[in-house]
Amino acid sequence: MRTPLAAAGLVALGLLLMANPLFLPVSVDEPDPAYTHTVQPVGEGSVAGIESPVTGVENGPSGQNGSNGSNASDAVVAYDDLSPDARAAFDRARDAPEGGFGVEDPDERVESLAYPAEPTLGDGLLIVERAGERYEFWTRTVEREPGAVVAQRVFLQPVAFLVGFLAVVAGAAVALRGRLGEE
């Protein structure tokens, strides 16, 4: 009687540990936001996994219609029309090796720019014309997970899954040994 109970207990414990992604990670802190600034030539694809709504717009002064049907020339902002802080952020992002930079302190954001989580043309995405070239200037808020949640996902979940798998195997071995011992 003890062997089937031990085997069932090991299998139940193992299944519970293997199902840990259903109940872990438990968020213990508020998300940690970062504010990003990215510059790329118009029509170069996507920024941070978001497909550019102005893809297909010619990089020049003609202002062709974009692939989404909006007239991108209506959203073009001359570089000189940007506020001094926005120009500095644009230049810093354009000159950065990765095509952008991020800040963590909300006070370091540029007052005249919007930082939405999902940028759209005119709200977090500006078409800036500088020296006859057009650039997409993206500003957005990125919610990063707290360090404790990252630790749970990187360390605790895989270890719990492995221990759970081994407990299921051990439960099967105990049940099989118990069954073989009865014969």
pLDDT for 64 equals 40
Query: Between 21 and 159, whose confidence is greater?
Result: 159
Residue 97: which residues within 8 A CB-CB, separation 6 or more? none
pTM for this entry: 0.56
Query: Between 27 and 17, whose confidence is greater?
Result: 17
Residue 14: which residues within 8 A CB-CB, separation 6 or more? 163, 164, 165, 166, 167, 168, 169, 170, 171
> Residues 38-85: pLDDT tens digits?
998 887 655 544 455 554 444 444 444 344 444 445 568 999 999 999
Label residue 66 exposed, middle or buried (CB < 10 Å: 0-12, 13-18, 19+).
Answer: buried
Same domain? For 37 and 91 the reply is yes
Same domain? For 177 and 114 the reply is no
Same domain? For 53 and 36 the reply is yes
Say how many domains are in the chain.
Answer: 2
In this predicted structure, the answer to whether residue 93 has a pLDDT above a threshold of 50 is yes
Closest CA to 121 of 61, 57, 58: 57
pLDDT for 33 equals 84
Which tokens hold the place of 48?
A: 């941070």
Which tokens hold the place of 101?
A: 């930079």
Same domain? For 139 and 62 the reply is yes
Same domain? For 130 and 80 the reply is yes
Same domain? For 68 and 93 the reply is yes
Same domain? For 76 and 158 the reply is no
- Under the banding of pLDDT at 50, 70 and 90, the label for residue 123 is confident
Report how far residue 37's alpha carbon sits from residue 175's, in angstroms, rounded to the nearest whole number: 59
Same domain? For 117 and 153 the reply is no
Structural domain that includes position 177: 2-27+146-182
pLDDT, average across residues 114-130 = 88
pLDDT for 55 equals 46
- Under the banding of pLDDT at 50, 70 and 90, the label for residue 164 is very high
pLDDT for 168 equals 93
pLDDT for 49 equals 47
